[in-house]
Amino acid sequence: MAQPFDVVVIGAGPGGYIAAIRAAQLGLKVACIDDWKNASGGPAPGGTCTNVGCIPSKALLQSSENYEQAAHHFADHGIGVGELTLDLKKMLARKDAVVKQNNDGIVYLFKKNKVAFFHGRGSFAKAAGGGYEIAVAGAANETLSATHVIVATGSSPRQLPGVAFDEDRILSNDGALRIPGVPKTLGVVGSGVIGLEMGSVWRRLGADVTILEALPGLLGMADEAVAKEALKVFTKQGLKLQFGVKISEVKSTKKGVTVAYADAKGAAATLEVERLIVSIGRVPHTAGLGVEAVGLKLDERGAIVADEECRTNLPNVWAIGDVVRGPMLAHKAEEEGVAVAERIAGQHGHVDFNTVPWVIYTSPEIAWVGQTEAQLRAAGRPYKAGQFPFMANGRARALGDTTGFVKFVADAKTDEILGVHIIGPFASELISEAVVAMSFRASSEDIARICHAHPSLSEATREAALAVDKRTLNL
């Protein structure tokens, strides 16, 4: 006899676990199924984000940044550290402990909200009684029945054609987060968010890092001036970036990996490295989900077809997060999870896709929300822009981190903020003000007239807003 639920969520990444909690808060009887296993085979809810994504990468970015600060920047503050040592094993263990705290936190939240958690693989068995039967293959095999199903099965790393991840020499994000010793040489294929973050971690710890990118330049989706500044700073830091590269062969040897490629001019080249991270994007994960059993529709990329409200082609089957269209970001998955739970409960869930922020946690950090100047030019929308450098910000000087700037882009006529682009210290935190402003459809003058604490990095945000009207006070 199938255990009955109002809502069964498949996947406990940021999309799924948040959807489950919100649905339970709204009084629905909820189950959440997730198959991620920790090192001892036990459950590890939190998905890619918690286990091999956002959380462990940020833990290592922080540890490696601390190391770099101690090695190269503490002396500027008059601090000597004697002989600097690196205990990589301890650094990786700390990262694992941070992951576990997050796994445990989700287990606690499920208990608190009375979400029934099933550890195992969930798949559609059949449509039944106006709902669906979901089979769980795990320690115990169970069948659940659901009125509504939310699919939140996430994504997996894309491999180079014919080059499988062995997580020893050829690494996905998973292996890249647990290299047992700092490699002398490290190759990275792909200069997207993951490639830049992982490349930065291992460069700071001492690896000679070369990044090969197929596209003609860095961060094509970011503001042009931000991308230009980022390239300048990353190159100065020692990341070797090559663009317009076409890879022909990747060979794993006992000593390392050899990558044969044509450079931007078409000349044949090879890269010999100890290890290679392949970060060329991610693919929606639907393997083993039993989509064919119920006729759930996928698109040509393998993503579940879902509309703006996350409705699939099947009644009462919803899909959210990385497994559907849109940016593969944890907070986008969470927003969709909350909105779907609210729609199921008869409320008007809403996600504003125009105000989903992007963040790259390199040093300097990069963050933006809304449209770039290039996008506005292409759309023929008149705009005005204002920019303010951290070099002229007192807090940034005190921090010793004056790289970068804040840029506002606003409608030429109404002054409504259309985009905010930041490269610099704590851009990940500063972007929130822009997200709030855009969510309330604020003008740049609104931000310019709001009191910002002194001395704070947020004053650079206000000054950039003032710059839209060419009236900065500190430049």
Cβ closer to ligand FAD: 314 or 328?
Answer: 328
Respond yes or no: is residue 454 known to be catalytic: yes
Interface segment toward ligand FAD; rule CB under 6 A; list 33-41, 311-319, 434-442, 452-460: 33-41
- Exactly one of 54, 61, 406, 448 binds ligand FAD (CB under 6 A); which one? 54
The maximal CA–CA distance of the chain, rounded, in angstroms, is 72
- Exactly one of 6, 213, 274, 322 binds ligand FAD (CB under 6 A); which one? 322
Question: Residue 147 in 3-state DSSP?
Answer: strand
Cβ closer to ligand FAD: 341 or 376?
Answer: 341
Amino acid at site 300: E
CB of 125 to ligand FAD, least distance (A): 12
- The DSSP string of 304-352 is BP--TT-B-SSTTEEE-GGGSSS---HHHHHHHHHHHHHHHTTS-----
Cβ closer to ligand FAD: 361 or 383?
Answer: 361
Give the pairing type, strands 155-157 and 30-34: unpaired
Instruction: Answer whether 441's CB lies under 8 Å from 418's CB.
Output: no
Binding status of residue 331 toward ligand FAD by CB under 6 A: yes
The β-bridge partners of 191 are none
Amino acid at site 144: L
From 216, 236, 220, select the one nearest 404 (Cα to Cα): 236
- Per-position x/- string for 133-162, each x denoting binding to ligand FAD as judged by CB under 6 A, each - no binding: -------------------xxxx-------
Binding status of residue 175 toward ligand FAD by CB under 6 A: no
Polymer length of the chain: 475
Interface segment toward ligand FAD; rule CB under 6 A; list 225-233, 268-276, 292-300, 320-328: 320-328
- Exactly one of 7, 8, 9, 10 binds ligand FAD (CB under 6 A); which one? 10
Containing H/E element for 152? none
Q: Any idea which residue has 């990118």 for tokens?
A: 213
Binding status of residue 435 toward ligand FAD by CB under 6 A: no
Binding status of residue 285 toward ligand FAD by CB under 6 A: yes
- Exactly one of 106, 171, 259, 330 binds ligand FAD (CB under 6 A); which one? 330
CA–CA separation, 444 vs 464, rounded Å?
9
- Neighbouring CB atoms inside 10 A of 82's CB total 5
Residues tagged active-site: 454
Footprint on this chain of ligand FAD (rule: CB under 6 A): 10-16, 33-36, 47-49, 53-54, 57, 121-123, 152-155, 173, 194, 285, 288-289, 321-323, 328-331, 333, 361
